[in-house]
Amino acid sequence: MFGLEIILVPGVSEHQVLSEREIQDNPNKKRYCFYSESKEVMQEWFSMLSRCTLSNHFCSTLYYSNTPEEQRILVPLPKLKEVLAPQRRALLWKKLLICGVRFDFSRSGEDDVRDLKRNTLLELTEATEMLGQLFNDPKCLQDTINMISTNLFRALPNASNLIHSSTEDDDGNEVFTDPEWPHLSLVYELLIRIVLSPQIDNNLRKRLIDDDFLTHLISLFDSLDQREREFLKTVTHRIYGKLTNRRVTIRKTINYVFYEFLYEKKSHNGIAELLEILASIINGFTVPIRPEHKLSLQRSLIPLHKTQSYENYSIQLSYCMTLYVAKDPSLSEPIIKALLKYWPYGHTPKETWFLNELEDLLELVKPEDIVPYRVPLFKRVAKCIASTNILIAEKILLFWNSQTFYGVTIGNEDNRRVIFPLIFKSLYDCSRGATENIQNMASNVLDLYKELDGEMYHSLVKQYTGVRK
């Protein structure tokens, strides 16, 4: 039989140290005894009771300001692996308190305490592998998640509060870096380890990483620091894969960000990254696609084509559209009709992006799929062929190099008889009056129709040349 005696002295703070004589002489003391036949159970009790004697909240100041409370917290501690197992719960909490102190990196003279926090975060990250079972305890894991929340869930700094890097990104845009990143990056790394650790029960993770946590996490995608958005993308992917009970929340929260961007804020720094996450989610949809996923497509994704910042996420949005159509070609109808509705008149770069997306979508459809929108679509195609912008005209004429596009527009008789009259005038004029390259490209397209349906070709030539005369 193993025993454990605990003496509680009311009215004494955790920071007040009493001597053995003061404890024995205190008239208000209470004595408790615990007994167990197992040494392991007794050690577990000692560990939990040791943690219960400590405070249950993080430092109250927003940034480190050398208060007495912070001075008590920010002290060197032994490493977790150097103490006995029953002492680790309490020691972990003390280390989490250190990590819960945030620093204003614009201030000087704080290098020592900043390094203490950094080294403690590194130790905790290592401990998720070396002492993973410690985090499998509900209280320890909850404390760790609370520390992560304290660091990450903050008011995002605006451009004036960030460091303007002397370098530029691949697109020539100025790079902004968050001064807190030396600490934030380690907090994100710890979160990823927590999510992936095989030593932590997944049901415990599912319970403690809750909807509120995920809502706050996804709100951070508006960060100006691209490194933070990349970490967020990684951890959101991992959570979506591991915590199946939170998938609906993740999808709904991302859709809400899109709604807010479209109809309220009009600006957001992380739309491209959120679309990348959605692309992997869409890729996992089962067929037939569920109605709620189609609703998300129509309400939150398709309208993203109409924004002024479309260029910032055009590639990712186009990929999401093609994934939807690859699973359900009938969805090409609402997407292509929206492209035609939002068509960027006179905006060459955006028109080129629209044409790129259109080309990708039409590679995925069958002849019968385009019937609902073939007339408005090829009226737009005719305008692109006749465009005074050489880049636009060349881009659209290249569509006919695709065997799929050929099969949909020429190989199918029903489509051919509707489409060819719509584009004939533009093709005929370009074959005679544009640049040499466009003349050749337009003539090649006309020849394709002529080879397959010479009767229609000559009839249209006769009608058009007769009208011109």
pLDDT digits (tens, 9 = 90+) for 416-450: 999 999 999 999 999 997 789 999 999 999 999 99
Token pair of 86, please?
């029953």
Higher pLDDT, 18 or 103: 103
Task: Specify the pLDDT at position 166.
Answer: 44
Buried b (16+ CB within 10 A) or exposed e, 67-89: eebbeebbeebeebeeeeebbbb
User: Which residues, in sequence order, are CB contacts of 263 under 8 Å at separation 6+?
Assistant: none
- Give the whole-angstrom CA distance, residue 156 versus residue 221: 10
> Cβ neighbours of residue 2 under 8 Å, at least 6 residues apart?
35, 36, 37, 38, 39, 41, 42
Q: How confident is the model at residue 50 (pLDDT cuts 50, 70, 90)?
A: low
- Maximum distance among all alpha carbons in the chain? 119
pLDDT at position 14 is 61
User: Which two three-digit tokens encode residue 453?
Assistant: 């349906």
Mean pLDDT of 397-419: 96
**What's the pLDDT band for 271 if we cut at 50, 70, 90?**
very high
* Contact (CB, 8 A) for 45 and 82: no
Q: Are 4 and 86 in contact (CB under 8 A)?
A: no
The number of residues making up the chain comes to 469
**Better-predicted residue by pLDDT, 315 or 469:** 315
> What pLDDT is stored for residue 191 in this prediction?
98
Q: Is the pLDDT of residue 383 over 80?
A: yes
Q: Which residues contact 109 (CB under 8 A, 6 or more apart)?
A: none
> Cα separation of 317 and 271, whole Å?
9
Tell me how far apart the alpha carbons of residues 279 and 273 are, in angstroms, rounded to a whole number: 10
- CA gap 6, 58 in Å, rounded: 26
Parallel/antiparallel/unpaired status of strands 30-36 and 174-177: unpaired
Give 4's pLDDT tier (boundaries 50, 70, 90). low
Q: What is the pLDDT of residue 52?
A: 67
pLDDT at 55 over 90: no
Which of helix, strand or coil describes residue 157? coil
138-152 vs 181-196: helix crossing angle, rounded to 10 = 150
Q: Rg (Cα) of the chain, in Å, rounded?
A: 32
Instruction: Indicate the SS3 state at residue 339.
Output: helix
| Average of per-residue pLDDT across 266-275 | 95
Question: In 3-state terms, what secondary structure has residue 33?
Answer: strand
DSSP state string for 421-445: HHHHHHHHHHHHHS-HHHHHHHHHH
> Residue 401: what are its φ and ψ, rounded to 5°?
-75, -15
Task: Report CA 170 to chain centroid distance, whole Å.
Answer: 20
Distance CA 234, CA 184 (A): 14
Residue 172's pLDDT is 56
Of the candidate ranges 127-131, 154-158, 236-240, 413-417, the one whose mean pLDDT is the lowest: 154-158
Give me the residue label for tokens 């007769």.
466
Nearest of 105, 263, 121, 102 to residue 188 by alpha carbon: 121
The lowest-confidence range among 24-28, 266-270, 320-324 is 24-28
pLDDT at position 156 over 50: yes
In a 13 Å sphere around the CA of 207, the CA atoms on its Cβ side amount to: 11
Q: At what angle are helices 247-260 and 211-219 packed, to 10 degrees?
A: 40
Q: How many CB atoms lie within 10 A of CB 432?
A: 10
Confidence of residue 152 (pLDDT cuts 50, 70, 90): very high
Note the pLDDT of residue 326: 98
Query: pLDDT tens digit string along 169-200?
Result: 555 566 788 899 999 999 999 999 999 999 99
Domain ranges in the chain? 376-469
d(CA 59, CA 229): 27
Which pLDDT tens digit goes with each residue over 339-364? 999 999 888 899 999 999 999 999 99
How confident is the prediction for the chain on average, in pLDDT? 91
Q: Give one word for 200, left, alpha or beta, with left for phi > 0 and alpha for psi -120 to 50.
A: beta
The Cβ-side half-sphere exposure at 436, using a 13 Å CA radius, reads 0
pLDDT band at 468 (very low <50, low <70, confident <90, very high): low
